[in-house]
Structure 1
Amino acid sequence: MIRIARPLAAAAAVALALTAGPVAAQKLTLGTKLQLTTLDPHFFNGFPTASAHAQIWDGLTQINERLELEPALAESWSLIDNHTWEFKLRRDVRFHDGTPFTADDVVATLARVPNVPNSPALFTSFIRSVKEVVKVDDHTVRVITSAPAPVQPFDLARIFIIPARDAGASTMDFNAGRVNGTGPYRFLRWENGISMTVSRNDASWQGREPWEQVELRTIASDASRVAGLLAGELDGIDLVPTADKKRVSSDSRFRSVSGTAGVVQYIALDAAREQSPFVSAAPGQPALRGNPLMDKRVRRALSLSINREALTERLMEGSATPASQFLPSEFEGTSPNLRPDAFDPDRAKALLREAGYPNGFRLTLHSTNDRYPKDGQIAQAIGQMWTRAGLNVTVEGVPGQVFFAAATRQEYSAFSAQYGVNQASDGLRAVIHTNDAQAGLGAANRTRFSNARVDALVTAALTEMDAEKRRQAEHQAIEAAMEEQAIIPLFHPTWDFAVRQGLNVVSRPERRFNALMVRPAQ
Structure 2
Amino acid sequence: MTGLHRRFPALFVVALLVLSSAIPVGAAPAGSLLRIGIDVDAGTLDPRLANDTTARRVIEQVFDGLVELDPELRVRGALAESWTQVSPTVWVFKLRRNVRFHDGAPLTAGDVVFTYTTILDPALRAPLRGLYTPITKVEAVDDGTVRFTLSAPYAPLLKYADMGIVSKGAVERLGAEFAAKPVGTGAFKFVSWQRNSRITLEANPEYWKGRPKLGQVVFNIIPDNTTRAAALESGDVDLIHSPLSPQDVARLKNAQRVRVVETTGLGITYLNMNMVDPVMRDVRIRRAIAHLIPQQTIVKQIYREMDRPATSVLLPAWSGVFTDQIAQPGHDITKAKALLAEAGWTDSNRDGVLDKGGQRLAISVRTHSEDPNRIQVVELLVSILRSSGIDARVEITEFPGLLQALLSGNYQVVLVGWLGLVDPDRGMYNQFHSKGTQNWEKYTNPRVDALLDEGRQKADPAERARVYREVARIVATDLPYFVLTYQGYIVGVNRRVEGFTPIPSGSFRSLWTTSVP
TM-score, length-scaled by structure 1: 0.84
SS of alignment partner, residue 228 of structure 2 = helix
SS of alignment partner, residue 61 of structure 2 = coil
- 1:506–1:517 contact (8 Å) kept in structure 2: no
Match in the other structure for 1:351? 339
- 2:328–2:482 contact (8 Å) kept in structure 1: no
Match in the other structure for 1:241? 245
- 1:130–1:146 contact (8 Å) kept in structure 2: yes
Distance 1:151 1:300 in 2: 32
SS of alignment partner, residue 485 of structure 2 = strand
Shift of 1:218: 0.9
Counterpart among 24, 28, 32 of residue 26 in structure 1 = 32
Distance 1:41 1:259 in 2: 26
Counterpart among 215, 220, 230 of residue 233 in structure 2 = 230
The 5 Å alignment of 1:146-185 reads 146-157=151-162, 159-168=163-172, 172-175=176-179, 177=181, 179-185=182-188
Distance 2:146 2:339 in 1: 55
Q: Given the superposition, is the C-alpha separation of residues 477 and 354 from structure 1 closer, same or farther in structure 2, using an over 3 Å criterion?
A: same
Counterpart among 457, 463, 474 of residue 451 in structure 2 = 457
The 5 Å alignment of 1:277-316 reads 291-316=278-303
The 5 Å alignment of 1:345-424 reads 345-359=333-347, 360=354, 362-420=361-419, 421-424=421-424
- 2:287–2:329 contact (8 Å) kept in structure 1: no
- Sequence identity of aligned pairs in percent? 26
Shift of 1:118: 7.2
Match in the other structure for 2:144? 139
Distance 1:22 1:513 in 2: 20
Match in the other structure for 1:74? 80
Q: Which runs of 5+ in 1 are unaligned?
A: 1-19, 277-290, 437-441
Q: Larger helix proportion, structure 1 or 2?
A: 2
Matched, 1:507 2:502: yes
Shift of 1:161: 0.3
Q: Given the superposition, is the C-alpha separation of residues 368 and 299 from structure 1 closer, same or farther in structure 2, using an over 3 Å criterion?
A: closer
| Structure 1 range deviating more: 419-428 or 306-315 | 419-428
Amino acid at match of 2:479: Q
The 5 Å alignment of 1:195-274 reads 195-239=198-242, 240-272=244-276
- 1:262–1:326 contact (8 Å) kept in structure 2: no
Distance 1:170 1:390 in 2: 55
Q: Which runs of 5+ in 2 are unaligned?
A: 1-25, 348-353, 356-360
Match in the other structure for 1:426? 426
Distance 2:72 2:146 in 1: 27
What is the total number of aligned residue pairs between the two structures? 477
Distance 2:494 2:67 in 1: 32
Distance 1:176 1:320 in 2: 34
Distance 1:171 1:310 in 2: 50
| Structure 1 range deviating more: 327-336 or 103-112 | 327-336
Distance 1:353 1:498 in 2: 48
Match in the other structure for 1:328? 315
SS of alignment partner, residue 66 of structure 1 = coil
Per-residue CA deviations over 1:74-113 (Å, capped at 9, x if unaligned) read 1222222222112122122222233322211111111222
SS of alignment partner, residue 503 of structure 2 = coil
Q: Given the superposition, is the C-alpha separation of residues 297 and 368 from structure 1 closer, same or farther in structure 2, using an over 3 Å criterion?
A: closer
Match in the other structure for 2:22? none
Match in the other structure for 1:38? 44
Shift of 1:297: 3.1
Per-residue CA deviations over 1:468-491 (Å, capped at 9, x if unaligned) read 322322222222222221211111
Q: CA RMSD in A?
A: 2.6
Amino acid at match of 1:313: K
Shift of 1:520: 5.2
Distance 1:377 1:207 in 2: 45
- 1:112–1:167 contact (8 Å) kept in structure 2: no
Distance 1:517 1:374 in 2: 31
Distance 1:363 1:514 in 2: 45
Match in the other structure for 1:485? 479
SS of alignment partner, residue 268 of structure 1 = strand
